[in-house]
Amino acid sequence: MTRLLWRASWRHLTAHPWQLALTLLGVALGVAVVVAIDLAVSGALRSFEWSSQVLTGRATHQVLGGPAGLSEQVYARLRLDVGLRDSAPIVTGEVRPAERADITLQVLGVDPFAEGAFRPYATGGGEDSLSGLLTEPGAMMLTSDTAARLDLHVGATLSVRVAGQQRAVILVGTLASDELTAQGLTDVMVMDIAGAQNLLGRSGTLSRIDVALPIGPAGEAMAAQLRALLPHDAVLLPATAVTQSLTHMTDALRFNLQAMSLLALLVGMFLIYNAAAFSVVQRRPAIGTLRALGVTRGEIYLWLVLESCVVATLGLVLGWLLGALLGQGLLQAVVNTINDLYFSLTVSRVALEPQTLLKSAVLGIGAAVVASLRPAWEAAASVPRALRASSLETTRRARLPQRLLVGAGVIGVGGVSLVAPGQVLWPALVGVLAMVAGYAWLVPAATVGLMALLRPIASVFGGYAGRMATRGVTTHLSRTGVAVAALAVAVSATLGVGLMIGSFRHTVDGWLQHILRADVYVAATAGAGLPPELITELRAAPSVVAVSTGRRIQIQEANSRTEVWVLDPAPASRTGFRYKHGDPTQAWQAFVEAGAALVSESYAFRQRVGVGDTLRLRSDAGVREFAVAGVYYDYGSDQGVVALHRATYDRYWRDRVVASVGLYLEEGAEVAATMAELRDRVGAVHEVVLRSNRELRAAAMQVFDRTFVVTDVLRLLAVLIAGVGVVGALAALQLERGREVGVWRALGFTAGQVGAVVTGESLCLGLAAGVLAVPLGWVLALVMVHVIQPRGFGWTMSFVAEPILVGQALALSVTAALCAGLWPAWRMARAVPAAALRGE
């Protein structure tokens, strides 16, 4: 019996290769998007984690200093007084090759004599390179891959930019390691600690001390003992603390992108459903015969579901291949986003991980099975030797009221889940998905209604062809309904995300205009501070009436990392802050005079602090408490920022670095001319970046736009999948209606007229999907702006609708449907009537 069923499957699938291809494509594209996002996002992070692990080596803990770095005397004390042998001093930093601005080299300065047990690769480069590393000025080692990428051979010099200066380093050897370790060492430049301090201008300080403590109570006791011995500005943290808190930063980003990829899979599910449903419709006579031959309902049901599984498995493999390609393509975009928003990261390549394959397999095959359950059930429910397709259409339309109820119910559940109070993101995302699914449920009914409305207009413009097209959509609702739903969902997602990004952009732009008060900004090049004499000079420059200074530091603690914005405000800086909570006057006064902190909205959200609360920060004088005087709007970091007055900061921290200066010019001063003059005055002596208010804002917006590149790609992919769905639906219609078209031709329709009817149907599908997508997209945007963003990032945004996006969504929908309808229309028009009618 089973053999018979499988042979029936084989015959059916091979007899309808296009249909099979479309199902495969549905699974493959859905899976590909999931795999691609997983590959790009998780791959980038995994690679970051691996690289961190390689760089941390065998260390279990790290001693970190404050913003001014860790005094190297702490290391001497650990070795000489405490006798802590398993410890290694580390100096890190970043440099850029002068000729290759696209590469950032991570400097890892080590003491090879303290090192071996921590990172074997750091001392394993052979004797010659090691003694070179110790004695040659600027000596460094790279992996052979990185050396090749920089076109360097051993003995060659590389010119690098560091803290605004050009310095020469020399490759004395390559890092010997296995391939996996070498991957973690991509773009890592190992130097002797003396060379690293000299290159980075950091003599006297270390970045950290790596420590290996035994695991278990003995290690904990040693850790406690060490903590007691460390000076106030040093802290002992687990070695994984930094990496973990960095990767945690990307949680919301990762979650959002994964949700987007699931949406693509959902759209793919419509496709699979469509194909499965159609194959059942086609095989109703065969299934009837099988039932008459004694095949049970259960067997039919299982057979069709399993058939779906097998097809899905094929599609899955295709999806993996496509996903791997797409993932590599998306990787750079994701890496750029993480670089812009969170931390610097280099990933040259990523590998498909087993868990990605497993996850996508479960999702892809699961989606196929779920999508085929209903068609299979319908087939199994039919009586032996049953009716033709049309009976299904009749029952389907008869069930419309029932569907309306179900759809409304699911939307209701989604809505409840959305408005349910709480700060957790996932119920909101479940709510969104439920709303989308419920809405899709309503789409067939809405399509029937829309077609009825459209018919008079269509008959005016398109005559009988118009009428036939609108009717065709309704008559073949089992096919068209799903296609419209898929397209509507894809287009609404595009519209919703577009509206959200527009609102976000608008909000950020408004915020930037507000917070950037100075006319000209002077910033130190990466990794350096502005020399005090330069600041004095800038203060004294003609037409400069006021100066503000800024510095951003990261304070690492065991489970978190806090960004502190150290601000020495100019009088006008005050108006840059807009408060969500707190009285502006009092908050400012407390900030300036009473050593209070202002916190950004996302900080308040994440740390659950508000005005009147206190927050604790690890300062160079130990942990200190700061009162929160106000919560201000800020969209610069989704992790949140704590703003401290420079005077407050200087009281508890030793670091005196100023990283940027804002210059306020006198009324009526010409910005461009002043900047040119400043460049002449300071440019020759100091390497600094001068930017006008407008330039800085533009640069910030550029970063903003770059972070949405991945999202844009995903939106387009969803529409592409929906387009394939429309091709599938129309192609199926064409196959199914072969006889009908034969009758048309026999009645005297020309090929062109047949083509016009089919094209008309495509147009109707596109219009219906577009029109139905608008409300859903709008609601999605509102939900994203008012629920998802505040819950995911703690950001308040105003919803600003750009009407042009609605027009774009309609155009996209119609264009996608028309493009998808071209091939079916051509096929139908070309059909030979006699062949089509031969069955009669």
Partner 1 sequence: MRRARLTWLVVLVALLGLLYAVWAWREVAPPKPAGSAAVTAVMSGDATGFTRALGPRAFEFPADHGPHPDFRQEWWYYTGNLETIDGRRFGYQLTFFRFAVTPEAQVGASAWAVRDVYLAHFTLSDIAGEDFHAAERTSRTALGLAGAQAEPYAVWLEDWHAEGDPHSLTRLQAHAGEVAIELELRLTKPLVLQGDGGLSQKSAAAGNASYYYSMTRLDTAGVVRVGQQTFTVRGLSWMDREWSTSALDKDQVGWDWAALHLDDGSELMYYQLRGRDGGVDPQSRGVLVDGDGGVLSVSAEQVQWQVLDHWRSPRSRARYPARWRVVVEELGLELELTPALADQELNLSFRYWEGAVTVRGRRGARSLSGTGYVELVGYE
Pairwise CA distance, residues 660 & 518, whole Å: 12
CB of 83 to partner 1, least distance (A): 5
Which of 75/603 has CB closer to partner 1?
75
Which of 137/412 has CB closer to partner 1?
137
| Sole binder of partner 1 in the list 1, 4, 15, 80 (CB under 8 A) | 80
How open is the CA angle 353-357-359, to the nearest 5 degrees? 110
Site for partner 1 in 528-557 (CB under 8 A): none
CB of 131 to partner 1, least distance (A): 4
What string marks each residue from 103 to 122 as x (binds partner 1 by CB under 8 A) or -? --------xxxxxxx-----
Site for partner 1 in 135-194 (CB under 8 A): 135-137, 192-194
Do 750 and 830 contact (CB within 8 A), yes or no?
no
| Sole binder of partner 1 in the list 1, 4, 15, 76 (CB under 8 A) | 76
Q: Is 83 in the site for partner 1 (CB under 8 A)?
A: yes
Which H or E run contains 503?
A: helix 477-515
User: Closest by alpha carbon to 170, among 185, 184, 150, 186?
Assistant: 150
| Sole binder of partner 1 in the list 203, 394, 614, 798 (CB under 8 A) | 203
Pairwise CA distance, residues 536 & 527, whole Å: 21
Which of 129/759 has CB closer to partner 1?
129
Per the DSSP assignment, residues forming a β-bridge with 687 are: none
Q: Is 123 in the site for partner 1 (CB under 8 A)?
A: yes
Which of 128/583 has CB closer to partner 1?
128
Q: Is 68 in the site for partner 1 (CB under 8 A)?
A: no
65 by DSSP, 3-state: which? coil
Which of 86/687 has CB closer to partner 1?
86
CB of 164 to partner 1, least distance (A): 17
CB of 293 to partner 1, least distance (A): 46
Which of 116/584 has CB closer to partner 1?
116
Q: Is 197 in the site for partner 1 (CB under 8 A)?
A: yes
| Sole binder of partner 1 in the list 198, 332, 525, 586 (CB under 8 A) | 198
Q: Is the dihedral of CA 723, 726, 732, 737 positive or negative?
A: negative
Pairwise CA distance, residues 718 & 727, whole Å: 14
Count of Cβ atoms closer than 10 Å to residue 601 Cβ: 23
Which of 128/593 has CB closer to partner 1?
128
User: Closest by alpha carbon to 716, among 808, 793, 627, 642?
Assistant: 808
Region of 76-84, 323-331, 343-351, 397-405 interacting with partner 1 (CB under 8 A)? 76-84
Q: Is 634 left (phi over 0), alpha (psi -120 to 50) or beta?
A: beta
| Sole binder of partner 1 in the list 39, 44, 66, 72 (CB under 8 A) | 72
206 by DSSP, 3-state: which? strand
Q: Is 130 in the site for partner 1 (CB under 8 A)?
A: yes
Tell how strand 561-568 and strand 544-556 pair up. antiparallel
Pairwise CA distance, residues 814 & 794, whole Å: 37
Region of 75-83, 359-367, 424-432, 818-826 interacting with partner 1 (CB under 8 A)? 75-83
CB of 501 to partner 1, least distance (A): 48
593 by DSSP, 3-state: which? helix
Do 376 and 308 contact (CB within 8 A), yes or no?
yes
Q: How many residues does the chain have?
A: 840
Per the DSSP assignment, residues forming a β-bridge with 563 are: 554, 641
Q: Is 127 in the site for partner 1 (CB under 8 A)?
A: yes
List, in order, residues 6 or more apart from 202 with CB less than 8 Å away: 69, 91, 93, 196
CB of 203 to partner 1, least distance (A): 4
Q: How many helices (DSSP H) and strands (DSSP E) are in the chain?
A: 31, 21
CB of 128 to partner 1, least distance (A): 8
Pairwise CA distance, residues 622 & 257, whole Å: 39
Region of 130-138, 454-462, 672-680, 794-802 interacting with partner 1 (CB under 8 A)? 130-138
| Sole binder of partner 1 in the list 79, 359, 578, 697 (CB under 8 A) | 79
List, in order, residues 6 or more apart from 315 with CB less than 8 Å away: 23, 24, 25, 26, 27, 28, 31, 364, 368
Which of 76/811 has CB closer to partner 1?
76
| Sole binder of partner 1 in the list 1, 2, 99, 128 (CB under 8 A) | 128
Which of 113/426 has CB closer to partner 1?
113
Count of Cβ atoms closer than 10 Å to residue 684 Cβ: 8
Q: Is 75 in the site for partner 1 (CB under 8 A)?
A: yes
Q: Is 204 in the site for partner 1 (CB under 8 A)?
A: yes
Q: Is 124 in the site for partner 1 (CB under 8 A)?
A: yes
Pairwise CA distance, residues 795 & 783, whole Å: 13
Q: Which residues bind partner 1 (CB under 8 A)?
A: 72-73, 75-76, 79-81, 83, 85, 111-117, 123-124, 127-128, 130-131, 134-137, 192-195, 197-198, 201, 203-204
